[in-house]
Amino acid sequence: MADAAAPHPSGHAAAHPPGFAHQFEDMGQQHEAGSLGMWVFLVTEIMFFGGLFATYTIYRALYLPSFEIGSRLLNVKFGAVNTVILIGSSLTMALAIHAAQTGKRQATVVYLILTMILGAAFLFLKFNFEWTADYHEHVVPGFGFFVRPEWGAAGPHVPMFFCFYFFMTGLHALHMIIGFSILGVLTWMAHRGRFTPEYYAPLEISGLYWHFVDIVWIFLFPLLYLIGGRYALRGGG
Amino acid sequence: MSTVVADLHHEAPSEASRVHYLNASYGIKSWLLTTDHKRIALLYLASITLMFFVGGTAAVLMRIHLIQPQGSLFEPGTFNKLFSAHGIVMVFFFLVPSIPATLGNFLVPMMVGARDLAFPRINLLSWYLYITGAAFALYAILSGGVDTGWTFYTPYSSTYANTHVIAAALGIFISGFSSILTGLNFIVTIHKMRAPGLTWFRMPLFLWSMYATSIIFILGTPVIAITLFLLGLEHILHVGIFDPRIGGDPLLFQHLFWFYSHPAVYIMILPGMGVVSELIPAFSRKRIFGYGFVAFSSMAIAVISFLVWGHHMFVTGQSIYAGLIFSVLSFLVAIPSAIKVFNWTATLYKGSISYQAPMLYALGFIGLFTMGGLTGLFLASLATDVHLNGTYFIVAHFHYIMVGGAVMAYLGGLHFWWPKITGRMYPDGWARFAALVIFVGFNLTFFPQFMLGYLGMPRRYAVYPEEFQVLNVMSSAGASILGIGYLIPLIYLFWSMRYGPVAGPNPWPAKGLEWETPSPPPTENFEHTPIVTEEAYDYANMHIPPSESQVSGETHG
Amino acid sequence: MSGHIVPVKTYVGIFASLIALTLLTTGVAFVDLGRLNTVVALAIAVTKMLLVILFFMHVKYSPGLTRLVIIAGFFWLAILVAISLADELTRGWSPTPQPWSILISLLAPE
């Protein structure tokens, strides 16, 4: 990587395992650094999504009846199924890493492909069913949102809920698409035998990212789909 | 003594044949595809300098315009675009990256005794993100500009301003990721790649300040990213979470914006403080007083800086109770900064002081930063802020810190490490002259602005009442002097790269791992991984062979 | 390179727990618990998150620095939420300032 014609430091006697990066002293340091780096990056993601969660919390406190109305218009079945799909993809991702750790190349590839399939299924359900239906029902802000009269006084703020629904699930979906691409690259690398029980850091680090995206959804599901109660309507709203 | 088996004596005679990071490879590809942190630092240096002069041009134009009370040059709308451009460019594209991306990138690996940062390719990516962001910002400015101010308050920016808001916001958004990656790299490098024997409390204070700054990068920048993202969405969709028609609260934008932008000002000053913590001991020939206090103060500043953002919103209709909390915390955040000033001053006491250009900048920093910081207390106090908010008092306050503080520290550091970076010494006579010109020009520009603000002149106005003209003319005169002052180093630093005297490994001489390699360093920084056995700033035990001091005018007390 | 190898059984067990919790939270949403609905939903979500973090993301077997980094991230988010919420919810608390004339007439005996 370095554009160096400089002499190779003579004190550096260790062999060069595959994937070793020259700025480190040994693979252990490289692995730890990579892991810490991904966690620090995930903290930035916590703050990035966090801005949306923070504003969501504030507006929900201010406009709870409107948020309840909006939430009830979402399809819980799709939300729950998608949650299960995503948790399943986390399992397959963890199993892919396990397979690499135990030197099973084929299994690694299979589990990575399964993860991609589940991720794609999630996106398919979301875009093809949920979002399309929402558009036809006129609950997409900025695209012909129709405030129903039966919403009463809480009506004008219902678009606010849907802003959050689309922004948050949209941003989440964008992260899934990025994760999907990363998985594609990893699958190719695994297929070419680049991972061994000694070197599987890219899998582990990408796994962290994928699990994080799963965690975001774990919070999005109850916060968007399950507020306002699905039981008999309470007074108002 | 640290037992580095380093190449100390390949100096002038074999200089031409010695391989170092600048001549290790040639051609534009070797620069644009480099992963060497030192080359990346220089790439940043070039682009940041360019942006500095873009932002500076906007400032000069404004000051010329403000010579006349009714404005001599521009329509008010254009004036608005000028101060917006000045703020956006100076904050996001100059001050935030300045020291971290140039001096930080160059020095952090060397100061920890490593061959490079933890993630060299990500380092290069961060530079490309920076110039992509800068390109969008320049496009926004040149294609008509935004007039929202660098603060982009809604609903003006989301609903009513022109569409260049999106380009500007996109530019800032992209360059924000550049900051995040830089901070990530520094944190991992400092945690995981310190040389044997380099414990946390043996690190130079510059590393502590880089670490604290990186924490702010990581925790704050994503929030402005999502805020600008939401702003852009609202601009495009004509509906969004800041839209009052669906219950949006414009103040919420301000909360999100300032949650980052207040810590951002500490991103801008902490590295400068780190530089000063290196310069003062070096030019007093004395270890820093209260190392632990200075190190912990850096961390305290990073943490408390996240708790005070509402002091930018005292007069916006924010809850008075929130205002009270923010006011108290804003007083608190001044304390660690003051601790640092006391420690620097105590370091100077009974030191063997020499007045080369870096020291002049460091001393200027201490004085001007103190003035800026003290005037911040006027603003942290709710009652006086009601009077002073939105006036030139605020403008003067933050320029004292940003320019009198951060920029002077940046120049001081640039001069101090110049021989290490380029292998050449700059002409110190010219450098000291420039430092004085800058100091005089700066004070003439901004001190009158304290008075203007106190007398009630609002900021961001293209016209003003007649009675303020004298002070405005003084300020504009100062600005022209300041502008000339900044051009002088540009000239002699460039000149020195080819014609300056060749510098040895440690021309000052100073303590630190970076001074124990040749100037310029080899690509791998060190021939062998250093082993650190002594505390930082151990100037008392420094042996200074006469042949090592190559700087004219240096006195040993 | 040391990397703790978590047994497949553990992963499957965690997966089963996560699915169970998902079904639980969905079911509870159909029961009226008043304000507790939100508390329960969040508690379940936090539990699920912890399971993913500790086991799928291997934090149970990771150095303390990793935990510190994660806690710092959530703590900082909490700062943003808490203080912004404090502003939004207490805006209405400010007493309306009285004009001076009314104040004086209150003080001066008529």
| pLDDT attached to residue A83 | 96
Which CATH number is correct for B45-548, 1.20.210.10, 3.40.190.10, 3.30.750.200, 3.40.50.300? 1.20.210.10
Give me the domain span that covers residue A138: 27-225
Q: Which chains are adjacent to chain C, needing at least 3 Cβ pairs under 8 Å? A: A, B
Mutate to test the interface with C, among A74, A230, A234 (most CBs of C within 10 A): A230
Tell me how far apart the alpha carbons of residues B38 and B44 are, in angstroms, rounded to a whole number: 10
Whole-angstrom Cα Rg for chain B? 23
Contact A33 B192 (CB under 8 A): yes
Q: Using a CB–CB cutoff of 8 Å, tell me whether A159 touches chain B.
A: yes
Query: Percentages helix, strand, coil for chain A, rounded to the nearest 5?
Result: 70, 0, 30
User: Does residue A102 lie in a domain region?
Assistant: yes
Closest C-alpha among A43, B255, A49 to residue C83:
B255
Tell me how far apart the alpha carbons of residues B372 and B160 are, in angstroms, rounded to a whole number: 35
Q: Which residues pair with B391 in a beta bridge?
A: B458
Could you tell me the pLDDT band of residue C93, with boundaries at 50, 70 and 90? confident
User: Does residue A217 lie in a domain region?
Assistant: yes
Tokens of B413: 């550091």
Nearest chain C residue to A205 by CA distance is C57
A88-127 pLDDT per residue, tens:
999 999 999 999 999 999 999 999 999 999 999 999 999 9
Bond before B155 cis per omega within 30 degrees: yes
Nearest chain A residue to C7 by CA distance is A98
Bond before B509 cis per omega within 30 degrees: yes
| pLDDT attached to residue A229 | 62
Closest C-alpha among B144, B149, B133 to residue B48:
B133
Q: Using a CB–CB cutoff of 8 Å, tell me whether C76 touches chain B.
A: yes
| pLDDT attached to residue B152 | 94
Give me the domain span that covers residue C87: 8-107
Tokens of B377: 């207390």
Tokens of B451: 């008075």
Contact A37 B118 (CB under 8 A): yes
Q: Which residues, 6+ apart, have CB-to-CB distance to A96 below 8 Å? A: A107, A108, A111, A112, A115, A190, A203, A207
Mutate to test the interface with A, among C1, C30, C38, C74 (most CBs of A within 10 A): C1
Q: Which residues of A touch C15 (CB under 8 A)?
A: 87-88, 90-91
Mutate to test the interface with B, among A8, A48, A216 (most CBs of B within 10 A): A48
User: Does residue A103 lie in a domain region?
Assistant: yes
Tell me how far apart the alpha carbons of residues B287 and B535 are, in angstroms, rounded to a whole number: 9
User: Does residue C74 lie in a domain region?
Assistant: yes
Between these two residues, A2 and C100, which has the higher pLDDT value? C100
Contact C90 B321 (CB under 8 A): yes
Q: Which residues of B touch C64 (CB under 8 A)?
A: none
Rounded to a whole number of angstroms, the distance from the CA of C80 to the nearest CA of chain B is 7
User: Does residue A13 lie in a domain region?
Assistant: no
Q: Which residues of C touch A42 (CB under 8 A)?
A: 70, 73
Closest C-alpha among B338, B355, B205, B199 to residue B285:
B355
Q: What SS3 state is found at B85?
A: helix
| pLDDT attached to residue A21 | 86
Mutate to test the interface with C, among B190, B258, B320, B324 (most CBs of C within 10 A): B320
Is residue C92's pLDDT more than 80? no
Contact B523 A4 (CB under 8 A): yes
Q: Using a CB–CB cutoff of 8 Å, tell me whether A207 touches chain C.
A: yes
Domain count, chain C: 1
- CA B307, distance to chain mean position in Å, is 21
Rounded to a whole number of angstroms, the distance from the CA of C68 to the nearest CA of chain B is 13
| pLDDT attached to residue B3 | 41
Domain count, chain A: 1
**Structural contact between residues B471 and B448, judged by C-beta atoms closer than 8 angstroms:** yes
- Whole-angstrom CA distances from A136 to A70, A76, A159, B94 are 15, 18, 15, 47
Buried/exposed code over B174-188 (b: 16+ C-beta within 10 A; e: otherwise):
bbbbbbbbbbbbbbb
Q: Identify the sign of the CA torsion B206, B212, B218, B222.
A: negative
Q: Which residues of chain B are under the pLDDT cut of 70?
A: 1-16, 543-557
Q: Using a CB–CB cutoff of 8 Å, tell me whether A199 touches chain C.
A: yes
Closest C-alpha among B320, B249, B386, B252 to residue C94:
B320
For chain C, first and last CA: distance in Å? 88
Residue B231's CB: how many other CB atoms inside 10 A? 26
| pLDDT attached to residue B543 | 65
Query: Percentages helix, strand, coil for chain B, rounded to the nearest 5?
Result: 70, 0, 30
Residue A82's CB: how many other CB atoms inside 10 A? 25
Closest C-alpha among B152, A58, B223, B385 to residue C83:
A58
Closest C-alpha among B474, B475, B361, B447 to residue B408:
B361
CB nearest to B319's CB, from C73, C80, C87: C87
Q: Which residues, 6+ apart, have CB-to-CB distance to B557 below 8 Å? A: B285, B351, B352, B353, B354
**CATH number of the domain that A86 lies in?**
1.20.120.80
| pLDDT attached to residue C32 | 82
Tokens of C2: 């040391």
Tokens of B35: 């992963």
Using the structure block, give the residue that is written with the tokens 């089963």: C16
Tell me how far apart the alpha carbons of residues B61 and B462 are, in angstroms, rounded to a whole number: 12
| pLDDT attached to residue B542 | 75
B442-493 pLDDT per residue, tens:
999 999 999 999 999 999 999 999 999 999 999 999 999 999 999 999 999 9
Q: What SS3 state is found at B391?
A: strand
| pLDDT attached to residue B539 | 86
Q: Using a CB–CB cutoff of 8 Å, tell me whether A5 touches chain B.
A: yes
Nearest chain B residue to C86 by CA distance is B322
Q: Which residues of B touch C87 (CB under 8 A)?
A: 251, 255, 310, 318-319, 322
User: What DSSP line would sit under B129-184, residue for residue?
Assistant: HHHHHHHHHHHHHHTT---STTTT-TTIIIIIS-THHHHHHHHHHHHHHHHHHHHH
User: How much is the average pLDDT of A52-78?
Assistant: 92
Closest C-alpha among A221, A87, A123 to residue C26:
A221
ipTM of predicted assembly, 2 dp: 0.90
Domain locations along chain B: 45-548
pTM (2 d.p.): 0.91
Tokens of B104: 């930080």
CB nearest to B528's CB, from A11, A36, A66: A11
Contact C88 A76 (CB under 8 A): no
Rounded to a whole number of angstroms, the distance from the CA of A93 to the nearest CA of chain B is 25
Rounded to a whole number of angstroms, the distance from the CA of B319 to the nearest CA of chain C is 4
- Phi and psi at B133, nearest 5°, equal -60, -45
